[in-house]
Amino acid sequence: MIKHQPFMIKGIQIYAEDYTYEKGYIKVVDGFIKEVGDVKELSSIDSLNFDEVFIPDGCSLLPGMIDIHIHGAAGTDTMDATFEAIEKMANALPHEGTTSFLATTMTQSEQAIEDALKNVTNYMKQSEGNGQAEVLGIHLEGPFINEKRNGAQPAEYITEPSLDLFKKWQEVAEGNIKLVTLAPERPGGIDLVKYLKETNVVASIGHSDATYEEVNTAILAGASHVTHLFNGMNSLHHRKPGVPGAALLRDELYVEIIADGIHVCPEMMDLAYRLKTKNKLILITDSIRAKGLTEGTYELGGQQVTVTETGATLENGTLAGSVVKMSDALQNFKKVTSCSMRDLIDMTSVNPAKQLNLFDRKGSIAEGKDADLVVMNKDLEVVFTYCRGKLAYKKGENRT
């Protein structure tokens, strides 16, 4: 970690881990939070060695957001398998308040997935992390999924869940696969779920046609997550609750929501919020390389994707990821639910950090944690983003 001049922000509303300071202060040293408290308790003598950052009136300080499901942004994709692709993503994401993420793969050939895993791992070892969103690991989405619910995942590369293949890939990734989306109802699915649980990898049910009973079996085996709720799964039926019914009813499961207003309608977002509450919801983007670019035609897993104002779709009309930003997802979710700012922080920072077992250093504003910080104005627009104490984005400046 490159050392930087200690700095301080004061006189701002701060959503700290256990308390909201209406006029608080925060001190950052060498990329970590040194102190946080009420500005009335701030010692002028102790503050002499800190550069003061001036923040516009009416802003609030939040913990950096964590996107655990993102394929690409700024013209690049995890499957590009190049250092430059991951670096572009890491540079672009602070613009939307994202300070760390899981680089997400998709269903492709074994070699293409292996190349992507090697590349992300090499990036994690080589990146200096100087003012960029941090890659926390890899989300392996597919190829262990159900062809009936493949969505934009290329069907020709789908394979049955394989313990041997996963072990090989995890070795290639040097243990950096942190979350796996799979269909537990497929042959070998439950065995893989058990192994993931044993090795502290999050087993997520997704692109699945599982029955309610099969989801319950997967939970007993160790599944604790559901990939993009309502998308890539069977429908909620009054006699066949399926994956969404189990996701909503079983407290053991965290659920992801793509809050772009396209993948899930407002009423279903509100339903998920009321049933799962802030404690078990995680907002994601599931974004593709087209995020941050103009409308047009792009590539996703060797497929042509058309991006318009109504979303990203394959030639057959199937939704193919999103172009939503985390800051927009936060705004969208707030508009359609009764959630508070604290709830939004849980869904964008606290919950993903806890699910990845990283809450000791990520996900909240507390002394000793990484200084992943986002300053938002009253309209919930990102004004400043700090990644591990380094300014990564300032509104009005282009830092990509």
List residues forming the annotated binding site for Zn(2+): 141, 207, 228
Two structure tokens written together for 330: 């936060």
How far CA 343 is from CA of 142, 209, 244, 376, 384, in Å, comes to: 30, 30, 22, 16, 21
What DSSP assignment string belongs to 214-230?
HHHHHHHHT--EESSTT
Give the integer Cα–Cα distance in Å for 163 and 211.
22
Question: Cβ-count burial of 266 within 10 angstroms (0-12 exposed, 13-18 middle, 19+ buried)?
Answer: middle
Judge whether 344 and 26 are in contact, CB under 8 Å. Answer: no
Two structure tokens written together for 103: 């680089």
Two structure tokens written together for 166: 């996963």
- Residue numbers belonging to the annotated binding site: 141, 152, 207, 228, 231-232, 239, 263, 319-321
- CB neighbours of residue 162 within 10 Å: 17
Pairing mode of beta strands 382-387, 373-376: antiparallel
Q: Number of H helices and number of E strands within the chain? A: 10, 21
Judge whether 138 and 84 are in contact, CB under 8 Å. Answer: no
Read off the DSSP letter of residue 332: H
How far CA 372 is from CA of 18, 112, 251, 396, in Å, comes to: 17, 32, 29, 20
3-state secondary structure 54-112: CCCCCCEEEECEEEEEECEECCEEHHHCCHHHHHHHHHHHHHHCEEEEEEECCCCCHHH
Read off the DSSP letter of residue 346: I
- Residue numbers belonging to the annotated binding site for substrate: 152, 231-232, 239, 263, 319-321
How far CA 201 is from CA of 137, 179, 355, 399, in Å, comes to: 11, 6, 10, 34
Give the integer Cα–Cα distance in Å for 150 and 207.
6
> Residue 40: how many CA atoms within 13 Å on its side-chain side?
3
Q: Which helix (H) or strand (E) holds 374?
A: strand 373-376
Judge whether 326 and 94 are in contact, CB under 8 Å. Answer: no
Which positions are catalytic? Answer: 286
